[in-house]
Structure 1
């Protein structure tokens, strides 16, 4: 695994990413391109806010009645000949998968892109049991060869360039391949076709499940999803329990929102709908279809007024592209499967070890850009504040931070204490101040001044300036015009009333 994964803390992982200039340039360039594409596609569609609100209402309604729609989906899928399994956590999902694989005496598995399968570490589990697992999405195939995890929900290899890909492919090919896109794509196509034809099991994720018909819907841009779901005799689909929508009519809204938000496309290149296994007379498709519906921490958010809306997420990645933190450090700094603002919320919620993962919620400026970008209007910035509050209430913050907050509370508890603190601060900063700023990089200044400078406290604070202005208004010798005087007097009067 790369250093981005093995570092223990968010701070360590972020420092590794910040030192990687290529990664920073690649992420900045690609996310800007995706943001521009999204904005163009939204403008061309028109009424984007109305579409967002419609998407939000569909997701709110579905999650509020999740038990009903899951039951409807399961009944319809079983009626269509599919098998349904429920997994409470990652371990149970892996056990179910391995049982199916053993029953089929599977030797090889091909996978289309699936973020939920990353939660399960299914590739490692299969290989530990002697079963070859091959990612067939080009980006996923690249990072699998590199021994890494996705750094973006939509573009997993966003941090790799052509030369790096050529080196990885050359190791598989046994000969040097040039860093030319057409040649590299051609090699991957040829290699993966061999894997498609030989695979015993095809594994997919699930973008949406349609309750009214028991169908699963896959979005892809490369066609590998169709190969995975038609060539092998057995198909296993991993489905997060929240990935459901009531009807085909609702899919129209999601198919409008997701591609535009993710990549700026009007429509994804391939949208496949699968309802049960192959029937008599069908030209292709699996003989058996197994859908594993996975909880893995999701049900804990149901009924929680602060976090239930996180289950509305349609995994478009738009919040990553908008986030100033993600654009600087990429995805691996977040340390788990999901990155960006959605990852900063999901990671501590889906993992019960808040001591380890609670700090990820600090990887945000709370600017709200993620909310503005989200096609279903999830208030991620609010959720990040809620997680931080819970961390504080649980005593998970650093001792220095807790001490600092206590000192601030005392200083801000009264206007008198605040004035005295500011006065002492002006006196204390004198030895450190140079041309109006503090550049010291030790103690409490170390983190802030590593990338910027700290402005010094003003020689005359706003409160003192305001008092002087009040005195000036009382002075009969002031040469202000009557209009200005009246306006300022009105403002002072309003302030007194408040």
Structure 2
């Protein structure tokens, strides 16, 4: 008897369609991103020099990228002088192998892990599980995601796709001593009780790094829960994994970047915990790890550095503001993007990590190019321009469907014949207006497979003159 054929992996359009049909998801996204946008606007409004700081942050990151080799060597030299062991990994597989080998050498049976998108990027959770090492996620949202057997849906709020009601059910089913009241405080206390002993029993603690301080060899982590400190302090071994672009020349430069990061990420002035890890425990220290390993990961970053097209993406400080303000992300959430990084930044990064192909080309086309992501980016990454670059590359490499290429060709011909273009647009506008009926809403649109109107109604154009007609009239009247 032959094995059943594997189920095809849903593509972006299928995942997006499923997300649009999920009413719970929309509720969860609105609760989280709406609050994030409000808080960010308020805290940025209290900082008169935010625009100046933004330019300074951009300059710092560009300087580091231009001199990446110098700062990597300086960081490595100072980290080793502090007693840390520095490893380099060119690929995600190599990075995972280094971490697993350290754990095996230590005889580790369980590890605690503080939230790290770099860890997700390289597939570290799966590598630890494949090695038979128990992994305990300690960030509250990552704990929720782990219990649910899901992937993070946001780089700052990994469980933002879950509503409070869904999390309550999950905790009641998974915790030995669950909450009795369905409040945020009671559920957080339930998670704290569940995780406390696991912090103390772990053989190895694994963290990410928000910044690598070149002139001190320190690793900086920022959290609001203290779980990073509980992950890195009690175990015998601390492993920090970080992308090579995370460097800051000095603690003063890192402090500047922290002000931008926290305001953009959570709408606060400062996180509850900002910790600089500088080597293992020294003689006389009351706590801390006996060994401190730092795994510096390339995984396509030097490729980005070598090419001018995507180099500006190396500025990214992983704040998530672009997602919170993206109208597409706010409709479909993070899982629909399919990669480690969702939203506008994910649409740029996923083709870098996974290659530009039939499955990743749709990400750039999902963008409306409204520009809000660049407006809120704390280091001014031109995300819409980078996404247009992927669209150009997709067209150049022939990845666009034949129907799209034919359609674009017809539109191009029509657009180069203005009288015919105006006639076609006028007729199309009138037809859509009639389809809207008295309500002015179109609930079913032919010739597009129902995709535009399956999950929402489309507003019909008004019956009056088009924008071009109204503008022409305005100009004629102004010339009199």
Given the two structures, how large is their TM-score scaled by the length of structure 1? 0.87
Q: What is the deviation of 1:350?
A: 1.9
1:104-136 CA distance string (max 9 Å, x none): 111000000100101122122212221100000
- Cα gap change, 1:233/1:437 in structure 2, threshold over 3 Å: closer, same or farther? closer
Gaps of 5+ in 2: 1-7
Aligned to 1:442: 446
1:210 to 184, 195, 213: 213
Contact 2:207 2:232 in 1 (8 A): yes
Aligned to 1:496: none
1:420-439 CA distance string (max 9 Å, x none): 65588689989978679876
Contact 2:82 2:278 in 1 (8 A): yes
Q: What is the deviation of 1:185?
A: 1.8
- Cα gap change, 1:357/1:426 in structure 2, threshold over 3 Å: closer, same or farther? closer
Q: Distance in 2 between matches of 1:145 and 1:22?
A: 19
Aligned to 2:4: none
Q: What is the deviation of 1:181?
A: 2.9
Shifted more, 346-355 versus 22-31: the winner is: 346-355
- Aligned CA RMSD, in angstroms, stands at 2.8
Aligned to 1:343: 346
Aligned to 1:492: none
Q: What is the deviation of 1:183?
A: 2.9
In structure 2, the residue corresponding to 1:324 is in which secondary structure?
coil
Contact 2:27 2:163 in 1 (8 A): no
1:139 to 125, 141, 160: 141
Q: Distance in 2 between matches of 1:466 and 1:255?
A: 47
Gaps of 5+ in 1: 1-5, 474-483, 490-498
Contact 1:438 1:456 in 2 (8 A): no
Given the two structures, how large is their TM-score scaled by the length of structure 2? 0.90
Q: What is the deviation of 1:158?
A: 1.2
Contact 1:7 1:13 in 2 (8 A): no
1:111 to 96, 110, 113: 113
2:33 to 31, 34, 38: 31
Q: What is the deviation of 1:231?
A: 0.8
Is 1:73–2:64 an aligned residue pair?
no
The structure number with the bigger radius of gyration is 1
In structure 1, the residue corresponding to 2:358 is in which secondary structure?
helix
Aligned to 1:221: 224
- Cα gap change, 1:83/1:488 in structure 2, threshold over 3 Å: closer, same or farther? same
1:41-78 CA distance string (max 9 Å, x none): 11222211011111111011111111111111111111
In structure 2, the residue corresponding to 1:381 is in which secondary structure?
helix
1:435-463 CA distance string (max 9 Å, x none): 79876533237333443447579898788
- Cα gap change, 1:162/1:93 in structure 2, threshold over 3 Å: closer, same or farther? same
Contact 1:319 1:371 in 2 (8 A): yes
* Count of equivalent residues: 471
Matches within 5 A, 1:222-301: 222-301=225-304
1:374-411 CA distance string (max 9 Å, x none): 11111111111111111111111222211110101111
